[in-house]
Amino acid sequence: MTGPRETISLATMDLPIYFISDIHLMLKKSNSEIERQNILFQFLHHVGDTGGTLVINGDLFDFYFEYKDVIPKVFVPFYHEILKIREKGVKVHYIVGNHDYWVQDFITEDLFDKTYLSDTSFNSSGKKFYVTHGDGYLSWDRGYRFLRKIIRSRLFIWLYRWIHPTIGYAFGRWVSKKGEHYEHSDEYNKRIADEMTIHANNSLEEGYDFFITGHYHQAKELSLKSGKLVILGDWLSFFTYAKFDGEDLKLHYWKKNETM
Ligand SMILES: [Mn+2]
């Protein structure tokens, strides 16, 4: 196992439990971005109507860095939608991804019910879930794992905080632009899915029923020997979510004005 193995147990979670990931809310507010966010908000309204639990499995923001007293303003419509569904009783859990690791108390205390800086696990209706954003798992990602250690270090974050936000965000924009290429060849996607299947099987052997990951921008629900691997897709081209109804976990494609 090469991935992070820390797990935190969540309290009981109301059903249904929804999982989404890789929304990559953009810093630039183009018309297409507003349109895309509206589709996401329709989904959130649906979650608000059904009630239950929402798990956001990383890379919610394309770039996010929070200062002691300052948060990015471009995401205000999103903050508003989250606070609305929480007011309706939905609990929102957030696992940070590689694009949005740099959170502080606005995210951890004010916006979400609970935020996780690493993999997490929980039980619901007799099923065991292992939830990871999924970055750093691939055997050929050694260089990235080293980089991740540095950019997540307290020293790096402390230093970055002293850069003026205009410069800090310009840099963030540049970095996220470099990683903009999310569509991979079928062959590469297959290699990823095969490798994540090995990790999922390890977890299933430990007694988990579902292994849920984001990050890879492919949508897959794979039945394994004793459970399932779900790769959550994204909200850039797939508009996918997984839903656990108390019995099974299934991947769905959100369609505009869906009312299921
Ligand atoms: Mn990611």
Q: What is the pTM of this model?
A: 0.93
48: its two tokens: 């608000």
Kindly give the distance from the C-alpha atom of residue 86 to the centroid of ligand 1, in angstroms, as a whole number: 25
38 CA to centre of ligand 1 in angstroms: 22
Count of structural domains, the chain: 1
**Residue 197 placed within a domain:** yes
pLDDT in tens, 75-133: 999 999 999 999 999 999 999 999 999 999 999 999 999 999 999 999 999 999 999 99
Apex 121 CA angle, 119 and 122, nearest 5 = 155
pLDDT > 80? residue 9: no
57 CA distance to ligand 1 centroid (A)? 9
The rounded Å distance from CA 215 to ligand 1 centre is 4
Ligand 1 centroid to Cα of residue 80, in Å, is: 24
Query: Within a domain: residue 12?
Result: no
- Domain range for residue 245? 17-253
Using the CB atoms, write b or e for 31-67: b if 16+ within 10 Å: eebeebbeebbbbbebbbeeebbbbbbbbbbbbbbbb
Where are the strands (E) in the chain, listed by range? 17-20, 53-56, 91-95, 114-116, 120-124, 127-132, 210-213, 219-224, 227-232, 240-244, 249-253
Ligand 1 centroid – CA 180 distance (Å): 11
CA 91 to centroid of ligand 1, rounded, Å: 23
For the stretch 21-43, pLDDT in tens is 999 999 999 999 999 999 999 99
Cα Rg of the chain, angstroms: 18
Residue 3 is assigned to a structural domain of this protein: no
Going from the Cα of 182 to the center of ligand 1, the distance in angstroms, rounded, reads: 10
pLDDT at 235 > cutoff 80: yes
We report the CATH number of the domain holding residue 212 as 3.60.21.10
Residue 6 lies in a domain: no
